């Protein structure tokens, strides 16, 4: 599939709808299960979703080998409905992130989410050099992920935006309101703003006021109707409905997610299991939901399926 959007067109498109990170399918032996993954992408892209990010955090991109990464991205690109663009991720060292960027470009991805550099503390000039090198290696759209050891100042974001027209977006996983206000004041409509806090639905309505018109929904993987209904309520600023859905589903979901470290990904694959669309286990060092946790999630999902 050839690129359908310019970076600027892609930014406008992504800003108007819900986004998600598809889980990557693995066999019982932890090999990439391409057939199951393609089936999952076909199902996910059949809904009115604005974009899918392959090989991201929920997609266990951190566990993919050098050879598997382009296989996953290409399978997503080829299996997604034409109207739903596929983006990929670029992480690790600068050299590895450049390799990801080039592989994703060759595989047909329309954009990249640039993850923080791997396990190293850097200053702002180092972050600029990291992003500058990645941006210089490809012409597809770039979104930066503001989290962990990669907290970008407005000044660095402005330098990147001035130098690289295909730098289009800012995804935030920190939730520092003052920092968001400063970024928005400096960059304005030059970027689009994407919510990326864990289980983004929890924060979606208040962050809408900060200019974040969209967010990445992990639960879209297994309850897409609910996720889209929730997003519509957020965009309509229907506070009573959002509050009801948070109370009845999101908070109980968080309670299960928080029982063990790493369950943020595991609960997504658990959800796919309970709706009859399994994509296999999570790879170590993550661990699958326990039988009790899976049973609790099953009961919770049934309440959504009935009410939705």
Judged on CB neighbours under 10 Å (0-12, 13-18, 19+), 152 is buried
Give the burial class of 298: count Cβ atoms within 10 A of its Cβ; 0-12 exposed, 13-18 middle, 19 or more buried: middle
**pLDDT of the residue at 224:** 98
Burial of residue 185 (CB within 10 Å: 0-12, 13-18, 19+) is exposed
> Looking at the predicted structure, is the pLDDT value of residue 231 above 60?
yes
Residue-wise pLDDT for 146-184, tens only, equals: 999 999 999 999 999 999 999 999 999 999 999 999 999
- pLDDT band for position 120 (cuts 50, 70, 90): confident
- The pLDDT of residue 118 is above 50: yes
Catalytic site positions: 145, 171
Under the banding of pLDDT at 50, 70 and 90, the label for residue 4 is confident
Length of the chain: 308
Q: How far is CA 41 from the centre of its chain?
A: 14
Whether pLDDT at 106 is above 50: yes
Average pLDDT on 55-76 reads 97
Predicted confidence at residue 306, as pLDDT, reads 60
Q: What is the rounded CA–CA span in Å between residue 3 and residue 10?
A: 10
Measure the CA–CA gap between 267 and 78, rounded to whole angstroms. 26
Alpha-carbon span 196 to 217, nearest angstrom: 9
């Amino acid at each position: 599939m050839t690129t359908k959007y310019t970076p600027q067109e892609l930014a406008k498109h992504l800003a108007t709808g819900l986004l998600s990170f598809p889980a990557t399918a693995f066999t019982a032996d932890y090999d990439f299960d391409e057939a199951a993954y393609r089936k999952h992408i076909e199902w996910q892209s059949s809904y009115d979703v604005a974009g899918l990010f392959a090989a991201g955090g929920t997609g266990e991109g951190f566990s993919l080998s050098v050879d598997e990464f382009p296989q996953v991205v290409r399978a997503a690109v080829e299996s997604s409905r034409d109207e739903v663009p596929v983006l990929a991720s670029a992480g690790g060292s600068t050299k590895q992130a450049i390799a990801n960027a080039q592989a994703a470009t060759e595989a047909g991805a329309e954009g990249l989410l640039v993850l923080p550099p791997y396990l190293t503390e850097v200053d702002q000039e180092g972050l600029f050099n990291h992003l500058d090198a990645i941006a210089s290696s490809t012409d597809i759209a770039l979104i930066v992920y503001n989290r962990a050891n990669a907290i970008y100042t407005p000044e660095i974001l402005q330098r990147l935006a001035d130098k690289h027209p295909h730098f289009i977006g800012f995804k935030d996983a920190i939730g520092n309101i003052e920092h968001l206000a400063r970024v928005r004041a400096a960059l304005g409509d030059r970027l689009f703003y994407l919510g990326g806090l864990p289980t983004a639905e929890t924060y979606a309505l208040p962050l809408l006021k900060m200019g974040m018109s969209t967010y990445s929904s992990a639960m879209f993987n297994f309850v897409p109707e609910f996720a889209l209904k929730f997003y519509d309520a957020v965009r309509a600023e229907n506070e009573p409905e959002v509050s009801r859905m948070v109370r009845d589903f999101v908070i109980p979901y968080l309670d299960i997610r928080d029982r063990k470290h790493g369950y943020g990904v595991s609960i997504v694959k658990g959800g796919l299991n309970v709706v009859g669309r399994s994509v296999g286990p999570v790879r170590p060092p993550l661990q699958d939901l326990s039988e009790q946790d899976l049973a609790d999630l099953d009961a919770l999902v049934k309440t959504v399926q009935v009410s939705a």
